[in-house]
Amino acid sequence: MTEIRLYNTAAREKQVFHPLTPGDVRIYVCGPTVYDRAHLGNARPVIVFDLLYRLLRHVHGAEAVTYARNFTDVDDRINETAQKRRAAGAPGTLEDLIRDRSDETIGWYHDDMDALGALRPDHEPRATEYIGAMVAMIADLVDRGHAYVAEGHVLFAVESYKDYGRLSGRTVEDMIAGARVEVAPYKRNPMDFVLWKPSDDELPGWDSPWGRGRPGWHIECSAMSAELLGQSFDIHGGGIDLAFPHHENEIAQSCCAHPEGHFAQIWMHNEMLMVEGRKMSKSLGNFFTVRDLLDQGIRGEVIRYVFLSTHYRKPMDWTAEKAAEAEAVLRKWYEAVDGVAAEIPQEVVVPLADDLNGHGALTAMHALYRDGRFAHLAGAMQLLGLLGAAVPDWAGTQVDLAVSDLIETLLAERAEARKARDFARADALRDGFAAAGVVVKDTAGGAEWELAPGFDRAALEALR
């Protein structure tokens, strides 16, 4: 069995992954708050942990892996939208309107993530479906002395958990100084966080021992993961922005509610996304939803390829140039693998097993293409989620095999001419490619090419 090594944020090192229970791999990933379309940054953890899911299924078997990713459908932004719809005359109770809004945005989310080639998780729990489990967990924390009731709120007492801050590597003092903490007179400690809060008649709410109210954000994931995966499970994932306070708070409340469990064995976090070298922001005009890009004609497979080309623990920069390059590569690959029986090659599995090195896997796939190993290329593309049951319709047959073979032959001849210091022939091929409309880019992994608008096949063939 292939050895998988994953970077554990809690340990600050790569570790060999061994399931807590052989044959039963369990993953929980924090999902979206469903109040609007998923933006481009929201797509990164989806693709990262979909890749992990695919790798684990390949190595351990599809039936051995359980993946849960939640929907947060208890949120002030969802409430606000529902209240506006009710004020505009929409029929139904506030709870009905909130459910309608959540159904709508979850549908959008599924459509957009499906377009990126992401497999649906085995479980997609909604927070509103697990209120009972949350109330029971909060009551247990109160009984154990880890939470207290104050002015209709229930708060977790951070000082009751001695390991608070271990995941993020911060002291409580550092966290108070550097974080935005809600100042409230009923808190015993500024870092104490809300487990339950009261709801008035204008807000959704559920009955509880502390009155009608609704859960805080952090308790949702702790309750749902325990219900679906148990008190101890293998991997917990999400964006690096969730490490503190969300994941730190999850650990505290879960470990205090279930001291016999260990919660998550490995913590994985993906870095953030930029657009054209700048932080994505509406004020900068570089804020995109996934749907924005899809509607612009940028294919889901292209978005996925660009995301996979940067290691998940490094900041990723989305650029139009990267998207164009990715489309050119994928068109060539799709033509090569069309109708070919797929076989997953180990030289692509190995980099993926080394902490999801997608860039290394893509580099290996370029070599498979150059070597004409198209069955292995097809298998690798399936493993990375770039190829489904068939080549996508948009790929078409832009480049026929004769043209592709000729370009590859001429590129090999150019490389030999350079090696032999026959610069006249090498330069003639370079200039001939440009004149024929073949854009060649030399990279560390070898020459890559695409056809420019106005490609002249006769001019290319004249270079023989």
What percentage of the chain reaches a pLDDT higher than 70?
Answer: 95
Torsion of CA 105, 254, 225, 131, to 10 degrees: -60
Of 448 and 316, which is predicted with more confidence?
Answer: 316
What CA–CA distance (Å, rounded) separates 366 from 326? 12
pLDDT tens per residue, range 202-232: 888 999 999 999 999 999 999 999 999 999 9
Whether a cis peptide bond, with omega within 30° of 0, leads into 245 is: yes
Of 402 and 34, which is predicted with more confidence?
Answer: 34
Q: How far is CA 364 from CA 51, 102, 304, 377, 436, in A?
A: 16, 41, 17, 9, 29
Q: Closest by alpha carbon to 196, among 258, 231, 263, 147?
A: 147
Residues annotated within the binding site for ATP are: 282
Q: Angle, nearest 10°, between helix axes 346-353 and 374-383?
A: 30
Q: Closest by alpha carbon to 373, among 411, 346, 400, 350?
A: 346
pLDDT tens per residue, range 433-446: 999 989 998 887 78
Residues annotated within the binding site are: 30, 221, 246, 250, 282
Give the chain's domains with CATH numbers: 5-270 (3.40.50.620), 298-393 (1.20.120), 396-462 (no CATH)
- Decide if pLDDT at 117 tops 70: yes
> Mean pLDDT over residues 238-250, rounded?
95
- Using 50, 70 and 90 to split pLDDT, how confident is the model at 397? very low
pLDDT tens per residue, range 34-79: 988 999 999 999 999 999 999 999 999 999 999 999 999 988 888 8
pLDDT tens per residue, range 353-367: 999 999 999 999 999
pLDDT tens per residue, range 13-41: 999 999 999 999 999 999 999 988 999 99
Residues annotated within the binding site for Zn(2+) are: 30, 221, 246, 250
